[in-house]
Structure 1
Amino acid sequence: MEAPPPVILDFLLKLSRMYVLYCCFLSWYFLLSVNYAVRLEITPSHVIAGRNVTVNCEFEQSYDSSNDDIMWEFHKNTKRLIVWRSIPGTNMLRDQNEHFHGRTEVKFTSEKAVLTLRSINLSDSGEYRCIIFIRRGRNSEYLTSNFSYLSVAAPYSIPVVTGLNKTEEISLHCISYGGYPEGQLMWHYRNGSILTESVSTQHISNGMGAFVINSTLSLRIQQSDDICCSVSHTDLLQSWTTCQALTACHGNYPHCILFDMFISIVSGLAFLIILLFITIIIITIRMFQGSTQIKAKQLENST
């Protein structure tokens, strides 16, 4: 069997060398990707406004704070804000957005950097990521983590119910404010029976990210009962309820008749007292005038 021509052997040798170099390159790239892997985690990812969260930036290679640079970014809609970034080798911050001034603290370990974001508010809802700039001599790496979403919720205030109950026709208003996201409002009797007739409910933004829920109930009551307004927050699994006692005064209900009799008696007594008071004033004035005239005549006769 004849040996392959030298040209073919040379080609096969070059091809094998290229294959080895390609495998080495893939292995090198894979090792670098593993060593420089960056992962971001927010704890907790759902938080109530006013509390603190931690934004962990984890990496497998040791972080050198004297040379390397780390940064946390905040993304929401079209906004991109720098949450925290320091100048390598110092504790000085650079480029931090004023929205996060005084609310950040960072601690470093060999495997992660932990950012604590204090006093979370509704405008902090959005996506976060960390970016690491690895500097090793003349070489540098630009590494980014995944995006993690922070959801911020706010509780609603206890509902305030107002309205008049002069006749069987009533109109009640219920308002609750300060919550996020949109809550659910429901009118019902104390026994749980839901009222859906003539209900108008609005969710109005207060301009600071939270909502005001305003609802009106119009109802013709048939009997005395407690009508309640409840606001529920599905994310927080919380609800707030306020009830108002209503008295049905129509028809021949005994309590309504007694109430009307009481009002009539009180009104009659008040009228008699006022009339008596006016009569006493008139009599007093006339008596004073008569005594004045008698004294004047006596003075004339003495002179």
Structure 2
Amino acid sequence: MSKAISGIIAPITTPFSDDEVNLEFLKENINKYSQTNLSGYLILGSNGENSCLNDVERHLIIQTIVNAKSSTQKAIVGISSDSTRVSIERTNQAADLGADYVSLLTPYYFKSRLSNEALINYFVDVAEKSKLPVFIYNAPKFTGITLSIKVIEEISMHPNIIGMKDASPGSYMQYIGVCKPDFKIFAGSLDTLFPALILGAVGGVVSLANAFPVQCCRLYDLVLHGDTTEAKGLYMKLLQLNRSVSGSYSVAGVKYSMDIAGYHGGQPRLPLLPLTPDEKASIEKAIKQSKIFPQTN
């Protein structure tokens, strides 16, 4: 299997009906996304409310997306566990279900004891036993840990650790300076997507791509072809919209923007609360002001 991947990845949300996972809605979303230039999907990430799902639901979601995606799109499964053993098990279950890659979140519960050595061992141990190529997910907002330059430099040399989704606020240039040339770094949010692409990132994993995949892919294509002036203009529109949607209202905001854009978003699963009428009105206003909707291929 080729390890090459670049472009815009959508961190897929999980649709619920009466608090149950609606696999038909999920399939319909993926069928629509398959008509866009999205390079693939991050499954069971924070936007997928992975921590609110049981193992049966996780497996069904992976299977549904793998079966519904286009043949050119890749399936990346998010792995989040503080146990090396459980992470290895989930990684290889994802492989058996047909995924192409895994994205390995930094363990964090015992962060006071997670030294550089412990973190390096964790990533390497999982990569050694993984049937799939591994991306590292550096997410200080969720874990309270920013992976050090030393950790990234060492683990990037492992042949089965092929890249990183970097959601840190400003570490990209430090990381790229110590990684092997073919280590692929993806921007982990729309906030950093444009500058990261300019500096050499190969793509981005951005929540707004759930509602506006065409515009997010357009931004990537503009940078790829050197049209940075138009790219910057589009980026500023998407940036403001993203801050009004995901930045202000998290998963619930992303899901409501999907509803507006014609996808199945719906409500988040408890304990996350649904949006209030005023919050919905705020998102509607932000989308209208952005002038990026309706979208066309």
TM-score with structure 2 setting the length: 0.18
Greater radius of gyration (CA) = 1
Quick check: which one's strand share is greater?
Answer: 1
Judging by fraction of residues, say which structure has more helix: 2
TM-score of the superposed pair, with normalisation by structure 1:
0.18
Greater relative contact order structure (CA < 8 Å, 6+ sep) = 2
